Chains A and B, each alone.
Chain A
Amino acid sequence: MATANATTQDLTAKTFRRRLEDFWRYVKRNPSLGVGLGLFLSLFLFVAIGYATYEVERYRPLSGGPDLAPFEKDSYNPVTRANGYILGTDRQGRDVMAVMIAGIPLTLQIGLIAGLIGITVGTILAFMAAYYGGWIDQVISTIVDVGLTIPGILILIVIAVNLQSGLSVPQMGLAVSAVAWVWPARTIRAQVLVMREQLYVEIARLSGTSGFSIMFKEMLPNLAPYIGASLVGSVASAILASVGLEALGLGPFDSPTLGMTIYWNIQFSSILHGMWWWFGPPILVLAMIFVGLFLMTAGLDEWSNPRLRKRV
Chain B
Amino acid sequence: MAIKNIISIIITNYVFRRFLFFLLIIWIASTAIFLIPRLSGQDPVKEKLLLEAQRGGHMQAGLEEMAASYSAKFGLDKPLIVQYGNYMKDLVRFDFGPSIAYFPKSVNSLIGDSVVWTFGLLSVCTFLAFFIGTIAGALLGWPKSPNFLQYVFMPILTLAAIPYYLLALVLIYIFAFNLDWFPLFGGYAVAQLPEWSFSFIGQVIHHAILPASSIVLASLGFWALGMRGMMVTNQGEDFMIAAEAKGLRSIRLFFNYAVRNAILPQTTALALSLGTVFTGSVLVEVIFRYPGLGNTLYQAIKLNDFFVIRGMIFIVIVTLGLATFIIDVTYPLLDPRVSYKKGG
Chain A directly contacts chain B within the complex, with at least one CB pair under 8 Å: yes
Chain A interface residues (CB < 8 Å from chain B): 142, 145-146, 148-151, 153-155, 157-159, 161-164, 236, 240, 243-244, 247-250, 262, 265-266, 271-272, 274, 276, 279, 283, 286-287, 290-291, 293-295, 307-308
Is B44 an interface residue when CB atoms closer than 8 A count as contact? yes
- Whether B40 pairs with A162 at a CB distance below 8 angstroms is yes
Is B14 an interface residue when CB atoms closer than 8 A count as contact? no
Kindly report which residue of chain B lies nearest to residue A301, judged by CB atoms. Answer: B229
Contact of A266 among B21, B286, B316, B324 (CB under 8 A): B286
Given contacts A146-B28, A151-B317, 10 further A-B contacts (CB under 8 A): A150-B25, A150-B317, A154-B279, A161-B306, A161-B309, A244-B163, A247-B286, A271-B169, A283-B170, A290-B166
Kindly report which residue of chain B lies nearest to residue A183, judged by CB atoms. Answer: B272
Given A158-B36, A286-B166, A291-B161, residue A153 in contact with residue B279 (CB < 8 A): yes
B275 to chain A: which residues have CB within 8 Å?
148-151
Nearest-Cβ distance from residue B170 to partner chain A, whole angstroms? 6
Q: How far, in angstroms, from A255 to B83 measured CA to CA in the complex?
A: 37
User: Per-residue CB proximity of B315-328 to A under 8 Å, as 1/0?
Assistant: 01100110010000
- Whether B24 pairs with A151 at a CB distance below 8 angstroms is no
- Whether A161 pairs with B278 at a CB distance below 8 angstroms is no
A148 to chain B: which residues have CB within 8 Å?
272, 275
A272 to chain B: which residues have CB within 8 Å?
177, 184
- Chain A, interface SS category: helix
- Whether A154 pairs with B177 at a CB distance below 8 angstroms is no
Give 10 closest A-B pairs by Cβ, nearest first. Answer: A294-B161, A151-B275, A162-B37, A153-B279, A290-B161, A291-B161, A151-B279, A290-B162, A154-B313, A287-B162
Q: How far, in angstroms, from A274 to B176 measured CA to CA in the complex?
A: 11
- Whether B324 pairs with A149 at a CB distance below 8 angstroms is yes
- Whether B165 pairs with A247 at a CB distance below 8 angstroms is yes
- Whether A307 pairs with B236 at a CB distance below 8 angstroms is yes
- Whether A293 pairs with B161 at a CB distance below 8 angstroms is yes
Contacting residues of chain B (250-305) with chain A, CB-CB under 8 angstroms: 272, 275-276, 278-279, 282-283, 286-287, 297-298, 301-302, 304
Kindly report which residue of chain A lies nearest to residue B165, judged by CB atoms. Answer: A247
Is B32 an interface residue when CB atoms closer than 8 A count as contact? yes
A271 to chain B: which residues have CB within 8 Å?
169, 172-173, 177, 184
Q: How far, in angstroms, from A307 to B25 measured CA to CA in the complex?
A: 37
Q: How far, in angstroms, from A266 to B168 measured CA to CA in the complex?
A: 12
Contact of B24 among A146, A279, A293 (CB under 8 A): A146
Q: How far, in angstroms, from A307 to B229 measured CA to CA in the complex?
A: 12
